[in-house]
Amino acid sequence: MPENNKTNTSNSITNEVKKRKSSMSKEEYNKTLQLLITQFPDTFSDKNPKILKIRIHRDLKERTTLSSNTIKYFLGKYCRTKKYKAALIETAPRYDLEGNIAGHVTLKETAKAPEQNK
């Protein structure tokens, strides 16, 4: 195998590993979602997602056994779903883990939503 092909193959594998470390598979996402729906049914849903409070990742870290990376990648996917974005309208309530209102969506936050589609 020519040296150039070895380098390309190595770079491809390295990039795939980097990609894998910075993402969550669909299976992992669904498993995490089901766990959170079970633990926090008043907050998480796959059918009608509620807008989450700011910094909810801190609460999840304290109240679950999920790793920081799992929480980060899960929330990244969850908050980018079409259903979640559709619910992201100005003055919509934000919810904590108990399902209590913990703030509201601002106009500035709704302006960022289309950018997240890119």
Quick check: 80 and 116 in contact, CB under 8 A? yes
For 30-49, give the DSSP string.
HHHHHHHHHH-TTT--SSSP
Residue 20 inside a domain? The answer is no
Residue 70 inside a domain? The answer is yes
Total domains in the fold of the chain: 1
Residue 6 inside a domain? The answer is no
Sheet arrangement for strand 93-95? 51-52, 93-95, 101-104
What would the pLDDT profile of 47-69 be if each residue is shown by its tens digit? 999 999 999 999 999 999 999 99
Residue 62 inside a domain? The answer is yes
Q: What is the CATH number of the domain that holds 50?
A: 1.10.1710.10
pLDDT band for position 9 (50/70/90)? very low
Residue 19 inside a domain? The answer is no
Q: Does residue 29 carry a pLDDT above 50?
A: yes
Which residue range forms the structural domain that includes residue 82?
26-105
